[in-house]
Structure 1
Amino acid sequence: MKSRVVLLQCPTYELVTVEKTLRRGIELLGGLASLFHPGEKILLKPNLLYGQAPDRCVTTHPVVFEGILRILQEHGLVLSYGDSPGYGKPSVVSRKAGVAQIAEQYHVPLADFDSPRWREIQLGNQKVQIPLAAGTLDADGIVSLPKMKTHGLTRITGAVKNQLGCVPGFHKAEFHVRFPHIDAFASLLVQINLSLKMRLFIMDGVMAMEGEGPGSGDPTPMECLLLSQDPVALDATFCRLIDLNPRFVPTIEAGERLGLGTAQEDKIELLGDPLETLRRSSFKVKRYPPVPDVTFRALHPLRNFLLPQPRIDPDQCRRCGICVEACPVSGKALSFSNGKTNPPVYDYTACIRCFCCHEMCPHRAIFIHTPWLGKKVLHFLGRGSTPKGG
């Protein structure tokens, strides 16, 4: 049976338009009754990376949150919501993003995203204990609300990666140290999804983020919403919308390998509006593969000449220190050398290229630089793969 992905044009964040589009999407997937039973406890999981106004496109837009909330409440579901942000408290970040106010209006409580409960997963040949937020495990099902964005490490932030926010607090940064290589980290993200009761994925692509995502990119109109029960198929469809080879996205590769879903175009039933009418080939995203684990290890002695590295724009930096706090490396891979009179300085020999600093900078002061020779190597690794991939 093919995985179904619904792609629908939605040119505005007006509530009437968004809700109407969501209702149509759910009907195309088989209707509410095929997805939920009245009385079930359902958690809404938006992307709340950190506290920013909705127009920055860092977080799921509150109107998309409100639209699906209204539809699910009508069906008699018991709702809660939450996310564990990369920086800040869930209660504070959700308010800055405009989501908490909507939830309060409809009497939907914030779930417990502070308390960890440990679960065992299989990662390669080893069993690993991971913490999941209590609120995610108390739910009968989860509706994930990812934001359509780019990402320096995984190329896109999408449906699969959104569940990293189901890991509470500092444990997310810990994972980058425990699993510093991209293939292992992508497998971890997939196993998190497999450990949760995922029910539906709705991607907010009305306004997306291109370029230096997931926090420092530029808002851009994509004018669409995507719905699916298969997060891998949804992410692959996002890739095809922007002419990015799905095989360049580690979470898609791991998702297929571990049985979370499919990325193969001939195994996806695309419903709704034609993809060609919404395709944006000019969307700014890195169209070459991340450095594979084997290559990363082989190039490690030459990493400063070949591998991507975060850099700070001194004119944009406000010396807030969030990047230093976000660095998961013991002893830190960047620090202030003379108080806070100058921007932090990187020690690239300690940097594991997790790009947490880039992800968490609220001032768009950190960008990812790939040396010229490194670009040549990465493009060579991706040579022969077509942009639309399949």
Structure 2
Amino acid sequence: MARGKDKGLKSTVALVPCSSYDPERVYQALKQGLSLIGGIEKYVCREEKVLLKMNLVREADAERAVTTHPVVVEMLARILAEEHYIDVSAGDSGGFGSSVRSMERLGMREELTKYGCRMAPFDEAVRTEYPQGIHAKEFMLARDVTEADALISVCKMKTHALEHITGAVKNQYGCVQGKHKAAGHTRYPSAESMARMIVDLNLLVRPRLYVMDGIVAMEGNGPTSGDPVPMNVLLLSTDPVALDSVFARLVYLDPEAVPTEVAGAQMGLGTWREDDIDLVTPDGPLSMLSAVKKYGKPDFRVNRKKGKAEGIMNTVTFLRFLKPAPRIDADKCRRCGVCVESCPVEGKALRFSKGRDHPPVYNYRKCIRCFCCQEMCPHKAIYVRGRR
């Protein structure tokens, strides 16, 4: 069973510049990044069953920056093939639809097959107990996860309505098999409780390595309805909290505003503190200040506000109505019903109460502010805004 970060040891994060998804450029950048942290063989044995756990939140074209870009996953598969790893697969449990279909839409089948990498369907759930968990004691994991010897988490640099950002730590929620993910939102409805559950999940499945696709990130209304923005970096680390803290600082976001960062540090998964992180690049070590100056984007659109104390928000009933809430842009809504289907609340917190000729209508007394509707909307019609 995986353990958290050992105290007293610094975490290394490799930052490699990469300005396009040209396969050869990405391949060379990944090779550089892996070399900076000791090489792939330091973390994964050749005889092990390796799973490249990407972000396939829902079906989308690569240029929208909704998913981990296929070239990053394909070039990792190429590197593993060249290093004679013979049992490699790639996949994720998306929030809606088939993960295999998502990979096929991204054109991955032929390229992965070329490098001997299979597409993992993540379509079967296995009840997995975790008695060591601090906040969560059991998960319904995808069988592809439970049968893998080693996970490599290949995440995407994106904003997130609930957790501010989704990156290395949050990526592991896709290890929960798809139809069971909605139950997690109802059981852990707040950003803080969801973050602690996800940290427990990381400590259970504990990927050997985390690779972040930040060549083109998503800002604004993430994690699926935001806008692509070049960040021109790949980040690699064995510490997901440290990696996400570098991401946060590059977009001028205080890591302490990110629930998964706070929970990750408190529960021993990793560190977000600058003094505990060694940042390395192909040109040598780099201070965080220099990295932010060289690669940062101060106008990156992300929620930079720190959340209210969870206890206050949960015990004072009327404050619930002041929390940010999902809203529908009627001009963009196509009445497809994906948001209604994605709502995890029993009895649904939004319905076509005015008929299918009109957008769904929210019952904010039922809404738990999990933002699954906003995350799954394929038409960028749902956004999150504070209520008066």
Q: Bin the TM-score by the shorter chain.
A: over 0.9
| Structure 2 counterpart of 1:193 | 202
| Structure 1 counterpart of 2:324 | 308
| Structure 1 counterpart of 2:381 | 365
Amino acid at match of 1:22: L
Give the secondary structure class of the aligned counterpart of 1:145. strand
List per-residue Cα deviations over 1:114-148 (Å, max 9, x = no partner).
Answer: 11111223587776321111111111101111110
Amino acid at match of 2:255: P
Q: CA deviation at 1:201?
A: 0.6
Q: Is 1:137 the counterpart of 2:137 in the alignment?
A: no
Question: In the alignment, which of 227, 232, 235 is matched to residue 244 of structure 2?
Answer: 235
Q: Is 1:345 the counterpart of 2:353 in the alignment?
A: no
- Tell me, which stretches of 5 or more residues in structure 2 are unaligned? 1-8
| Structure 2 counterpart of 1:262 | 271
Cα 1:297–1:55 change in 2 (3 A) is: same
Q: Is 1:178 the counterpart of 2:187 in the alignment?
A: yes
Preserved contact between residue 53 and residue 98 of structure 1 (Cα < 8 Å) = no
More deviation, 148-157/190-199: 190-199
Amino acid at match of 1:348: Y
Q: CA deviation at 1:70?
A: 0.6
Please tell me the root mean square deviation across aligned C-alpha atoms, in Å.
1.5
| Structure 2 counterpart of 1:379 | none
Question: In the alignment, which of 300, 306, 311 is matched to residue 283 of structure 1?
Answer: 300
List per-residue Cα deviations over 1:20-77 (Å, max 9, x = no partner).
Answer: 1100100100122312222221100110011100000000111111111111111121
Cα 1:188–1:127 change in 2 (3 A) is: closer
Question: In the alignment, which of 16, 27, 35 is matched to residue 8 of structure 1?
Answer: 16
| Structure 2 counterpart of 1:386 | none
Q: CA deviation at 1:91?
A: 1.4
| Structure 2 counterpart of 1:92 | 101
Give the secondary structure class of the aligned counterpart of 1:195. helix
Q: Is 1:55 the counterpart of 2:72 in the alignment?
A: no
Preserved contact between residue 201 and residue 231 of structure 1 (Cα < 8 Å) = yes
2:49 and 2:197 map into 1 onto residues whose CA distance is 26
Amino acid at match of 2:305: Y
Question: In the alignment, which of 115, 118, 122 is matched to residue 113 of structure 1?
Answer: 122
Q: Is 1:42 the counterpart of 2:50 in the alignment?
A: yes
With the length of structure 1 as denominator, give the TM-score of the two structures: 0.92
- Tell me, which stretches of 5 or more residues in structure 1 are unaligned? 373-390
List per-residue Cα deviations over 1:73-131 (Å, max 9, x = no partner).
Answer: 11121201110000001211221233334223333212251111112235877763211
1:160 and 1:153 map into 2 onto residues whose CA distance is 14
Amino acid at match of 1:267: D
Give the secondary structure class of the aligned counterpart of 1:271. strand
Q: Is 1:221 the counterpart of 2:230 in the alignment?
A: yes
Give the secondary structure class of the aligned counterpart of 2:178. coil
Equivalences, count: 371
Cα 1:218–1:187 change in 2 (3 A) is: same
Cα 1:162–1:64 change in 2 (3 A) is: same
2:314 and 2:372 map into 1 onto residues whose CA distance is 20
Give the secondary structure class of the aligned counterpart of 1:225. strand
Give the secondary structure class of the aligned counterpart of 2:347. coil
Preserved contact between residue 248 and residue 288 of structure 1 (Cα < 8 Å) = yes
Question: In the alignment, which of 329, 337, 341 is matched to residue 321 of structure 1?
Answer: 337
Cα 1:87–1:291 change in 2 (3 A) is: farther
| Structure 1 counterpart of 2:36 | 28
Give the secondary structure class of the aligned counterpart of 1:36. coil
More deviation, 30-39/204-213: 30-39
Preserved contact between residue 135 and residue 200 of structure 2 (Cα < 8 Å) = no
| Structure 1 counterpart of 2:4 | none
| Structure 1 counterpart of 2:5 | none
1:210 and 1:260 map into 2 onto residues whose CA distance is 26
Amino acid at match of 2:261: I
| Structure 2 counterpart of 1:148 | 157
| Structure 2 counterpart of 1:211 | 220
Give the secondary structure class of the aligned counterpart of 2:256. helix
1:125 and 1:162 map into 2 onto residues whose CA distance is 19
Q: CA deviation at 1:257?
A: 1.0
Amino acid at match of 1:110: M
Q: CA deviation at 1:243?
A: 0.7
